[in-house]
Amino acid sequence: MSEHEVRFYPVGPVEIRADEETGTRTLTGTAPPYGILSVDLGGFREKFAPGAFGDSLSGDVISTFEHDGRMILGRTSAGTLRLEDQKKGLHYAVDLPDTTAGRDLAVSVDRGDVAGSSFEFRVKAGGEEWDEKKDGNVTRTVTDAELFQVGPVTQPAYPKGTKVALRSLEEWREGQKPVGTRLLDRAKRLLRLLGEAGPAH
């Protein structure tokens, strides 16, 4: 099973909409956008195909601020977080709680201090495609993934979980080699390991 990965997208806008009748403040954003290549993630770039999170629309996803479990803003099972597949990406809308944290976040978003979104996900088995161009540029297209968290963040952090994707990239590259080459590589690795272990006693 694939491990969790986290990505940040400095795209927006992250906005606050206020309902004058109920006083509810709803934060809206998009994460991830579809079909847009990420920055270099350490050897590859990444994009998400439309509908990549289709199954998550009926799952239980939470919204947090800064991926802090103590700062839960809403969740789909409670009806306080809503997800919608749109042409440009996965749109989310979360009704902010009437708490100090919720009110402070609304002010920060209105001021433009918080303007990006981040999300935590896991790629499902067979849910990714790799492509390497002649110039050596590698692209990972995520086609099927499970969403766990989505919400606003203050600053972009180096994407977590890229080691997971890099392992998948190496496995894909290994699979592109001719069978004879793969067997030879395995034999070389085995001989190297035996040499490191030293003579048997």
How confident is the model over 62-95, as pLDDT tens digits?
999 988 888 899 999 999 999 999 999 999 999 9
pLDDT at position 62 is: 96
Q: How many helices (H) and strands (E) does the chain have?
A: 3, 12
| Strands across the sheet containing 62-64 | 5-9, 116-123, 145-153, 62-64, 72-75
Distance between CA 125 and CA 102 in Å, rounded?
37
pLDDT at position 61 is: 96
- Global pTM reads 0.76
Domain locations in the chain?
A: 5-161
Amino acid at 197: A
Which residue would you say has higher pLDDT here, 36 or 160? 36
Hey, how many other C-beta atoms are within 10 angstroms of the C-beta on 160? 16
Q: What is the pLDDT of residues 10-30, one digit of tens each?
A: 655 789 998 888 889 999 998
Confidence of residue 160 (pLDDT cuts 50, 70, 90): low
C-alpha distance from residue 8 to each of 22, 39, 67, 185 (Å): 32, 10, 11, 37
Local structure of residue 22 (DSSP, 8 states): T
Burial of 29 (0-12, 13-18, 19+ CB in 10 A): buried
Distance between CA 95 and CA 106 in Å, rounded?
11
Q: CA triplet 42, 142, 94: central angle to 5 degrees? A: 100
Tokens for 80, please give them.
Answer: 């306080």
pLDDT at position 180 is: 55
Phi-psi region of 132 (alpha: psi -120 to 50; beta: other; left: phi over 0): beta
> Residue 158 pLDDT > 50, yes or no?
no
